[in-house]
Structure 1
Amino acid sequence: MDVVPVYAGPTRGYCFAPEDFLCPETKPTHLPVGVRPGDKFLGLDLTAHWLPNYSDQISAWRRHGATIHIVVYDLLPLARPDWFEKATSQHFARWFKTVTNHADQVLCISESVAQEFRRRIIGTSAHERVKVSRLHLSGDIVGSIPSVGRCERVAQTLDHVRSRPTILMIGTIEPRKGYDRALDAFDWLWSHESSAAPDLVIVGKPGWKTAPLQERIRNHRENGLRLHWLENVSDEALMELYESSRAIFHASYDEGFGLPLTEAATHRRWALVRDLPVFREQNLSNVRYFDSDAPEALGTKVLDLMGEAERGLPPAASPTPNWAWSVGKLLEELGLTHDGVVRQPPVLRMVS
C-alpha cells in the first residue's frame, strides 16, 4: 500500500506533493494527481474554500475507479452561521454540497457529528450512497511530532503557573468558545472569592467576531497578574502548561469533538466543560460538567473543580489512545485492514 501526499491550492487542482513536503525548504510540484482503479483519496484537511473548485477533478477520479473519503470535523458553520464570518459560512455550504455530491465515505470525528451529518442528508441521493464512519482522535501530543521552543513571555507565564493555582483554557478566541462567560465567572471569583480563586491562562490565537472580547482581555485589570493570554505556543510549551496547571476549563457552546478534554485526560488533569452530548460521548473520568453561565454558579463550579484538584489527580485514562491507534482505526474504516491487520505496511513515497 502506497500513501501518496497530495495538495491543492487556490489556482490549481490537486497535485502530487514531494515526500519531504513537511520541510519548509521544499518546493511544491505541479504534477496533477492521476488515479487508478482502487485508489482512495483521503481529504484530511478542511478545504472548504478550495474543494468545490475542483469537483470536476474529483468526478474524473471516480470515473476512473477511485473512491473519495472526506474527514468531517464539524458542521457548525451550517448549524450556527452567526458564529462565523459570512464568507466562511458560504464557503462551507459549497463544501458540504460538494461532499454530499461526490464523497463515497465521510469520516466524522465524533458520533455527534456523524448523527448531524446523517440528519442533513436524509431525503437526498447521498443518504443511500455516502457511508458515514468515524475518525477516532487522540490526545497524545508527543506522538504528533510536536513543535518545540518557548519565547520569553511563555517561559515567564510557565514560571507563574508553577507558582500559583491555575486553570488553563485552550482554543481560538471566537464566538462559540464561551470565553466571555468564562471571564465573567472569573471576574466574580476574583471579586468575591479572591483568596481561593485560581489564576486563568488562555492559550489561543485571536479569532473572528470577538474584537470587543479581545480588548476586554488585553485591558483587564488582572492582565499579566492573574489573567494571562498566550496567542501562540509550541506543543512543547502546551504540554508543560498542562502539567503545571491544576485543571482545564472548556466553556465552548459546541464542538466537533473537544480535543482539550482528551489531552487533559492524557496529562491526568481535571476538566470543567459545558454539558454537551459531544463531551459526554468521550466518557472521560477526569471531566466535570456545568450547565449554567451565571457568573456565581459557574464560579462555584470552578472552585469545586479546584477542590478536586487539591485532593488528587483524576484516574488515569485506560487505555489512553495514541495516534498510532488512531491511524490503525482509520485504516480499518477505509477498508485497508483484514481482521485488524494492515493489508500491507503503508509506504509514503512519490509516484511517477
Structure 2
Amino acid sequence: MRFFFDARYIRTDFHDGISRYTAGLGSAVQRLAPDEVTFLVHDERQLAHLPEGAHWLLFQSNESPLEPIAALRLNKYRPDVLFSPLQTIGTAGRNYAAILTLHDLIYYRHRKPPTNLNPLLRLGWRLYHLTYWPQRWALNGADLVATVSHTSRREILEHRLTRNEVVVIPNAPQDLAALLPEKAASASPSATLRGRNLVYMGSFMPYKNVETLIHGMAQLPQHRLHLLSRIRDDRRRELEALIPQGAQVTFHNGVSDAEYARLLADDAILVTGSLDEGYGLPIAEALELGTPAVVSELEIFHEVAGPGAKYFSPTDPDAFAARVRELSHPDNYAATSTAGREHMRQYTWEHSARRLLREARELHASRSR
C-alpha cells in the first residue's frame, strides 16, 4: 500500500493542536509502516518533527489557492490511500482512497479562526463555519471520516455531517516526563495538603471561563493558580481586577514545554473551568504525568479524564474550590492520580496509528477487488 500522510499542518515555530496531532500520529505511523508511508510537506523544516529517514514529497502549501484541485496534482504520484489530519484538502477527481479528519465542532460554536492563518483564509474560515453544508461537502468527498473522540463522533453523526463511516483516531498526550530532569528539584509535598499549585494551560477566550477559577481562589489561600499561556495586556488587566484579596495568582505569559512539564510535576493539580471544549489535551498531558485534574462538567472532559479528575459546574466558583480541597487530601490525590494514569493507557500514538493503518488497508483492499 502506498500510504500518503498529509504532514503540511506541522508548524515550524511551535505546535498548536493540529500540528502536534499531525507530528505525533505521523511519527507513530512511520515507526509501524516505514516502507509504506510518504509524507506530504510544503516546507522542508517540517521534516524536523518527523522520524529521520522518512519518505517525503514536497507539495503545495495547504494555504495554496490550488488546494481545491490538490487531488488532480496528487494522482500522478499514484497513492493508494491519503490521510489528512484536516478536511480542507481537495478530493475532486482523485484516483485513490481518502481519509479526512474533523477533530471537533468547536468552531461552529466559537467562530474565531486560528491566528496563524492569513487574513483572507481567516475570513473564509468564518464563512465556512456559518452553516454545515460546506463541511458536509468536504467530508462526503472522502471514503472515511476520522475524528479524535467519541464525543466528536456523536456530534458529527447528530448533525449528519457525512454519509461516510466515522471512526475515532484518538489524540494522545506528548511525553512530558521526558522533558523533566532525572531528579526534578521541587519541594516535598505536604503530608496534609497536596496540589498546592493549580495549573491552567489554555487560551483566555471568554468560553474558557478563567474567571471562575480566579473567583474560586478566594477560598483557596494555601494554593497558587498558575495561568501559563500568552495573554494580551488588556485581557490580563481584566482578569487581574478579579483576583480576590489575598489570593495567589501568577500570570506566566507563555512557557516552554519543559517549564510546563516542571510546573505540572511540582505538586500540582491541572484545572480548567471551560464552558465548552473540542478535546482538552492539557488534561490528557497532566494525567499521563500523574497529575490529577479538577475540570468543568463537560462530556468531552469525562471522556478524556475519566476517573483522573474531579468535576464541577463551570459557573460555580464555590464548587471549583470544593473539588480542589477534596482532591488536596493526600489519599484522594494519590488515588485519583493512579486512576488517571490507568485511564490514559488507552491514549497512545501507537494505538491510534494502528487503528489508522488498519482502516487504510481495508480501504485499499476494498478498492482493489
TM-score normalised per structure 2: 0.65
- Any residues of structure 2 matched to 1:29-40 within 5 Å, and which? 29=58, 33-35=73-75, 39-40=80-81
Structure 2 counterpart of 1:173, which letter? Answer: F
C-alpha deviations, 1:175-229, integer Å up to 9, x for none? 221111211212x22xxx53xx31000122337xxx7643223566689x82122
Distance in 1, matches of 2:331 and 2:198, equals 10
- Check 1:333–1:19 CA distance in 2 against 1; reply closer, same or farther (3 A cut): farther
The one-letter amino acid of 2:172's match is: S
2:236 to 198, 214, 217: 214
Q: C-alpha separation between the residues in 1 aligned to 2:180 and 2:333?
A: 32
Alignment partner, residue 169 of structure 1: 200
Alignment partner of 1:306 is 2:328? yes
Q: Which one-letter code corresponds to 2:308 in the other structure?
A: N
Query: Greater share of helix residues, 1 or 2?
Result: 2
CA contact (8 A) 2:147 2:169 kept: yes
Q: CA deviation at 1:29?
A: 4.7
Q: Within 5 Å, which residues of 2 pair with 1:146-295? A: 165-186=196-217, 188-189=218-219, 194=221, 197-206=222-231, 213-217=235-239, 226-282=248-304, 284-291=306-313, 293-295=315-317
Structure 1 residue 327 displacement after superposition: 1.8
Over 3 Å counting, the alpha-carbon distance change for 1:295 and 1:72 in structure 2 is same
Per-residue Cα deviation, 1:126-183 (whole angstroms, up to 9, x for no partner)? 32xx22111112224259xx8899xxxxxxxx97999992111111111221111211
- Which blocks of at least 5 consecutive residues in structure 1 are unaligned? 9-13, 150-157, 339-352
2:126 to 82, 89, 96: 89
* Candidates 153, 158, 169, aligned match of 1:119: 158
Is the counterpart of residue 44 in structure 1 residue 91 in structure 2? no
**Aligned partner (choices 167, 170, 183) of residue 133 of structure 1:** 167
Residues in 2 aligned to 1:16 and 1:110: alpha-carbon distance in whole angstroms: 26
Higher alpha-carbon deviation: 272-281 or 294-303? 294-303
State yes or no: 1:322 paired with 2:348.
yes
**Cα distance between partner residues in 2 of 1:199 and 1:83:** 32
- How far does residue 108 in structure 1 lie from its aligned partner after superposition? 1.1
Of structures 1 and 2, the one with the larger relative CO (CA 8 A, separation 6+) is 1
- Match for 1:133: what amino acid? V
1:71 equivalenced with 2:101 (yes/no): yes
1:297: Cα distance to partner?
A: 3.0
Distance 1:30 1:82 in 2: 28
- The residue matched to 1:315 in structure 2 has which SS? helix
Relative to structure 2, which stretch is displaced further, 307-316 or 159-168?
A: 159-168
Q: SS of the counterpart of 2:227?
A: strand
Instruction: Report if the CA contact (8 A) 2:83-2:100 is conserved.
Output: yes
- Cα distance in 2 for partners of 1:41, 1:103 equals 10
- TM-score, normalising length: structure 1: 0.68
1:243-292 deviations in Å (ceiling 9; x for gaps): 11421112111222222222122111121111112122236322111125
SS in 1 for 2:301: helix
Pair 332,161 (structure 1): closer, same or farther in 2 beyond 3 Å = farther
Secondary structure of 2:129's partner? helix
- The alpha carbon displacement at 1:103 in A equals 2.5
How many residue pairs match? The answer is: 297
RMSD: 4.2
Gaps of at least 5 residues in structure 2 are 10-38, 50-56, 61-69, 116-121, 365-369
Q: Distance in 2 between matches of 1:43 and 1:275?
A: 31
Q: Quick one: which amino acid aligns to residue 287 of structure 1?
A: A
Q: Which letter maps to 1:234?
A: S
Instruction: Encode CA deviations 1:299-351: one digit per residue, 9 max, x unaligned.
Output: 2222222225775352152362432222222222333699xxxxxxxxxxxxx
